[in-house]
Structure 1
Amino acid sequence: MTPSLTDAESRPDLHREPFVHLVDVAHDRALVAWGAFFFERTPQGRWDIIDDEELPGRVGRHTCIGASAEPFGRSTVQVLSTDGDVVAEASTQDRAWVWVEGLEPDTDYRYRVVVDDQEWAAGELWDWVPVSRGGYDLAPAGRRYDLRFRTWPAPDAPTPSLRFVAMGDYGVGMRADAESSRRQQRIADVLDRLVTEHDVRFALSLGDNVYQGEQGRVDQEGGGEDDDWYSSFFQPYRLAIARIPIFPAIGNHDSADSESSDDRAQMEDNFHIVERFHHGLETASVQPGLFYRLRYGADLELVCLDTSLDSEDEEVHRYFQAPQHQEWLRETFREGRRRWVIPFSHHPVYTAGPDHENDEEMRAAFEPLFDAAGVRLVLAGHEHNFQVSEVHGRTYVVSGASGQLDERVPEGFERAHTAAWSGQAHLLLVDLDEREARVTPVAGLLGEGLHPMTALSPSNDLVEPPFVIRSANS
């Protein structure tokens, strides 16, 4: 029998913090997941997260978050109209996620998760917050979930104006009392504000979702267990990811490229990759590698590119060079496919540094494909700053400072065709319509408003956002 709630959870020295995750949204359905993290009080009086390996002995469970999470009980997700009527629902006793189908396109909904006849995560949330005695601890934070979403337009509907965000290199973790933790929290606050007040519909992850342990007391495997993901993903973005889906790309710190462990399996589980993208060659090319495309209405297609190293094939250096992925890429970037085709990846094609150079393998593989499809905007992370390059009528944006940050001045402006750069923490806000895309880097919140981030040209002239990109058909 799979474990449900245990007697151990009623102990005063143990706390279970529930989470809700809106994993995916389409024009007619939504993927909703739920889970929890478990904490024990230390002899010093603080709360400490229970390591995955200790869960069976402490709370009678093996998993708590993600597609493989054991069920918490008899569960139902109910989707409600804005008037409060239940319009669709789905139930399960075997897992902690469901697809809810039969929804209307481009429609606002509320939703709730009911487990054993009790609404999941309905009360005050406990968050990892600064405390008066110094550092961070788990404490009631005065916040509650506001569970709602909007479905996407029908696949054949003209794409209306759209707002989404992209953020890269964010997963430094919040458990340490460090500037990197505070930086990630400030950008998470920006995301919350954009989701609740500015109609952001989804977020693109540009990779490096969880770093190694020394970045913020995440365990040394750096993303290989659920407890690693608490401080790097589920806690800082908990309110946002209950309202909008995040579409992930693989970074070098999410694989074995830069760490001793390969965290792909944990990424696939926590982002529900199998449930979302394993639909054959038409929409994705996976296992191994993570390539997929997303259609938003009739005019926009987002394309995730896996730019990491292929450690499983001695004859292929990087996943995008493998024959099966090449076939999928040629079909995806064929001429005239959509008005807007926007690729996103972790590694950038062009970068002025200071840590990396232009990627010649990516240039050779992707630029002919981008030319064929009329690609005008390309998004990437990896370099821990903000950069804009203008090459052959195409705009390449680097945004790798949503957690990590390198303030050093790059030295490769000329080779990267750099038009603007900045060494500040930020995320990208993208406004899109049929004629143009407007890209605005947004810095951490100061006071009540959003703060667009200015940049510098290579000659140190001030460059103000937004950066405007015209569509190929305008």
Structure 2
Amino acid sequence: MTRTPRGEAPDVGVPAHLAEHMTVAEQHDWIAGFLRRHPVSRRSALRRGSGVVAAMGLASAPWTLAACASAASAPVSVVGRHLSFGDDPLRSMAMAGELTAPPQGRVVVDLGQNGSFGATLPVEVRRLVSQVPQADGSIRASDQYFVHALATGLQPGQGYDYRFRLADGTTTDTATFHTAPRQPTSPWSFTAFADQGVDMVPPSGLSGFTNAYYKPDDTRRTMTPSTSMVDRIAATRPAFHLLAGDICYADPSGEGEPVKSTGTSKSPSGFDSFDPTVWTTYFGLIERSAASTPWMFATGNHDMEALYDDNTARGALHGYGGHAARLDLPRTGPSACPSVYSMRYGNVGVISVDANDLSMEIPTNAGYSGGSQVAWLRQTLLQWRAAGSGIDFVVAFFHHCAYATSSTHASDAGVRAAVAPLFDEFSVDLALQGHNHQYERSNPIRAGRSTTQVPDGGTARPETDGTTYVCVGSGGRPRYSWQPGEVDRYRGNPAPQGDVNVVSYQAVGASAKVPDAVDWSQARYLDYAYVTVDVVPPPGPGQVTTMTLRTITDTGVEIDRVTLERRAR
């Protein structure tokens, strides 16, 4: 049985012909056995390393178990800062970054308001050791140090200044974040995309995501879509940003080939390699936004890193141990699911779903929660739709699509079967998905079919019309293609617009498909885009509140818009 189709999960050193039949836990067991047979000493790791834990040109030595042998000649810095809401967005914020070398003494966060720092927060240093088996029997190893601080007891709707301070007194630049307001009275916005990755070559020198990776006819874009969209989001300064899985692609090309390191800018033909320092590059890329705006992540198939399944210090399971070291996510979901959580901002409730637990197409982690995720999802939606909850709009974001029409992945039958009935029952307003590298918006869907036509500029009423499903896998990775005969359908498209009816499929296994007659594919764009969602709070009980989704390309052009409307409860 194929559990991990080639190229659809990070290649962390397990031979490809074995990995495709293994779960994440089984891959980790193989790696653990390999490492027992090939023990790595600090000295041999230094000899074998070929990259560095570095970012933005702050270091250039090999990424090794003491990568940080360069620390003696270079000052320690904190790079790649990123924020996440804590369990309560009204009163908590998590701050994180990465050290360019092992900590030399105590690290703290200075916290204050209006340019004055009146509080000092302790910083937790999380060490992440990566030992990646290579095709030639060697091991590439790195030692990374991530710093984390959690501010609690904050006041709702307030701005706070913070900076990391090292033992020698040096500090990062000051950044400012805002807690969620208790009840917003003015319009506010959040942004979203998925499948981002990085545009530049990772600091280790392995082959990364270069412009040559785009298709020759891929001309409606900036030179660096992933970076361009971060720049636009940073300028927008949304309340928060959602990323629906496949975050940085630490397996740079994602081809799932056997691993081999040459220490050059390219792996040899037919080889690939997991590179943990791509995460360093990634956090450096998003810092211009994420240092002041919470970036909230869901997990995708390229985020299942079997290398770290033994990192249980943070309760991580099923390949999420690396995320436990690098990221801070709210712990409001089921204990078995580290990347499943809920949060509230004003009259909007947001739920992160782990589609890896539900997928039929890529069953590597399917069923790992034992049903606890779906049970938790039902209970959360039940509470949010109860009288007096204060939540009008419900937004879910997850990776594998319940509804999409790409020729590569299309819809995942497992995800659809798990979430769509609940979304129908509890009138979920908006589902943001990734996995398919495209933008696609559905008409409102109930029971698998369009309930009404909502073209560009139209209005949907989710309480009666159903859920709008939007694929935003257009975050930067090379685009896919449509089903045969299907074409783009968006505002300003000079070509024929195509139809909402598409012959597509649902994936029911790693290579099994069943036909899917689609009548809901309202908007389609086969290049790079993100969405901005503008929320207008109700002026009072029973008054109209709206949530308008605007789709913006990496070149800054709006190509689609739809408004979701409710009466406040």
TM-score, structure 2 normalization: 0.60
Task: Tell whether 2:552 aligns with 1:442.
Answer: yes
Verify the 8 A CA contact 1:208 1:250 in the aligned structure 2. Answer: yes
Verify the 8 A CA contact 1:9 1:16 in the aligned structure 2. Answer: yes
1:295 Cα deviation (Å)? 1.2
Q: Distance in 1 between matches of 2:568 and 2:368?
A: 28
Name the residue aligned to 1:213.
Answer: 252
Q: Distance in 1 between matches of 2:107 and 2:319?
A: 29
Equivalent residue letter for 1:382: H
Where 1:120 maps in the other structure, the secondary structure is coil
Equivalent residue letter for 1:164: F
Q: Give the 3 Å change call, closer, same or farther, for CA 188–93 of structure 1 in structure 2.
A: closer
Task: Tell whether 2:295 aligns with 1:295.
Answer: no
The structure with more strand, counted as a fraction of residues? 1
Task: Tell whether 2:504 aligns with 1:451.
Answer: no
Q: Give the 3 Å change call, closer, same or farther, for CA 177–199 of structure 1 in structure 2.
A: closer
Task: Tell whether 2:404 aligns with 1:351.
Answer: yes
1:271 Cα deviation (Å)? 1.2
Provide the aligned length of Structure 1 versus Structure 2: 381
Name the residue aligned to 1:36.
Answer: 99
Q: Distance in 1 between matches of 2:411 and 2:442?
A: 11
Q: Give the 3 Å change call, closer, same or farther, for CA 420–85 of structure 1 in structure 2.
A: same
Equivalent residue letter for 2:238: V
1:420 Cα deviation (Å)? 0.7
1:288 Cα deviation (Å)? 4.4
Name the residue aligned to 1:108.
Answer: 159
Q: Distance in 2 between matches of 1:306 and 1:93?
A: 26
User: What does 1:161-180 correspond to in 2, within 5 Å?
Assistant: 161-172=187-198, 174-175=200-201, 176=208, 178-179=210-211
1:428 Cα deviation (Å)? 1.5
**What is the aligned counterpart of 1:75 among 101, 107, 120?**
107
Q: Distance in 2 between matches of 1:318 and 1:208?
A: 17
Task: Tell whether 2:300 aligns with 1:251.
Answer: yes
Alignment deviations for residues 194-245 of structure 1 (CA, whole Å, 9 cap, x no partner): 33x433121111111132233697995536x3x13123x2121121111112
Verify the 8 A CA contact 2:209 2:252 in the aligned structure 1. Answer: no
1:287 Cα deviation (Å)? 2.8
Q: Distance in 1 between matches of 2:68 and 2:478?
A: 42
**What is the aligned counterpart of 1:398 among 446, 464, 471?**
471
Across the aligned residues of Structure 1 and Structure 2, the Cα RMSD in angstroms comes to 3.5
Name the residue aligned to 2:334.
Answer: 285
Task: Tell whether 2:371 aligns with 1:323.
Answer: yes
Verify the 8 A CA contact 2:334 2:373 in the aligned structure 1. Answer: yes
Name the residue aligned to 2:531.
Answer: 428
Unaligned segments of structure 1, at least 5 residues: 38-58, 62-70, 123-145, 278-282, 455-464
Q: Distance in 2 between matches of 1:183 and 1:321?
A: 40
Where 1:322 maps in the other structure, the secondary structure is coil
Question: RCO greater where, 1 or 2, for CA within 8 Å and sep 6 or more?
Answer: 2
Name the residue aligned to 2:175.
Answer: 147
Verify the 8 A CA contact 2:199 2:226 in the aligned structure 1. Answer: no
1:473 Cα deviation (Å)? 4.9
Q: Distance in 1 between matches of 2:292 and 2:266?
A: 28
1:87 Cα deviation (Å)? 4.0
Alignment deviations for residues 60-114 of structure 1 (CA, whole Å, 9 cap, x no partner): x4xxxxxxxxx442222122222x2224331347663221233221112222221
1:379 Cα deviation (Å)? 0.4
Name the residue aligned to 1:339.
Answer: 392
1:188 Cα deviation (Å)? 2.8
Name the residue aligned to 1:466.
Answer: 561
Where 1:353 maps in the other structure, the secondary structure is coil
**What is the aligned counterpart of 2:320 among 261, 264, 269?**
264
Q: Give the 3 Å change call, closer, same or farther, for CA 317–20 of structure 1 in structure 2.
A: closer
Q: Distance in 2 between matches of 1:167 and 1:93?
A: 30
Q: Give the 3 Å change call, closer, same or farther, for CA 407–98 of structure 1 in structure 2.
A: closer
Alignment deviations for residues 329-355 of structure 1 (CA, whole Å, 9 cap, x no partner): 111111335211111100111111121
Verify the 8 A CA contact 1:187 1:443 in the aligned structure 2. Answer: no
Identity, % of aligned pairs?
22
Q: Distance in 2 between matches of 1:439 and 1:81?
A: 33
Q: Give the 3 Å change call, closer, same or farther, for CA 402–373 of structure 1 in structure 2.
A: same
Q: Distance in 2 between matches of 1:184 and 1:255?
A: 29
Where 2:298 maps in the other structure, the secondary structure is coil
1:158 Cα deviation (Å)? 5.1
Verify the 8 A CA contact 2:357 2:369 in the aligned structure 1. Answer: no
Task: Tell whether 2:137 aligns with 1:27.
Answer: no
Q: Distance in 1 between matches of 2:75 and 2:168?
A: 21
Where 1:419 maps in the other structure, the secondary structure is strand
**What is the aligned counterpart of 1:90 among 121, 127, 134?**
121
1:171 Cα deviation (Å)? 1.5
Name the residue aligned to 1:99.
Answer: 150
Alignment deviations for residues 18-53 of structure 1 (CA, whole Å, 9 cap, x no partner): 31524323222322223234xxxxxxxxxxxxxxxx
TM-score, structure 1 normalization: 0.71
Runs of 4+, deviation exceeding 6 Å: 3-7, 181-184, 216-219
Q: Give the 3 Å change call, closer, same or farther, for CA 4–79 of structure 1 in structure 2.
A: farther
1:323 Cα deviation (Å)? 2.6
Q: Distance in 2 between matches of 1:185 and 1:289?
A: 31
Q: Give the 3 Å change call, closer, same or farther, for CA 429–319 of structure 1 in structure 2.
A: farther
Unaligned segments of structure 2, at least 5 residues: 1-64, 127-146, 202-207, 215-220, 255-264, 311-317, 447-464, 487-500, 503-516, 538-544
Where 1:438 maps in the other structure, the secondary structure is strand
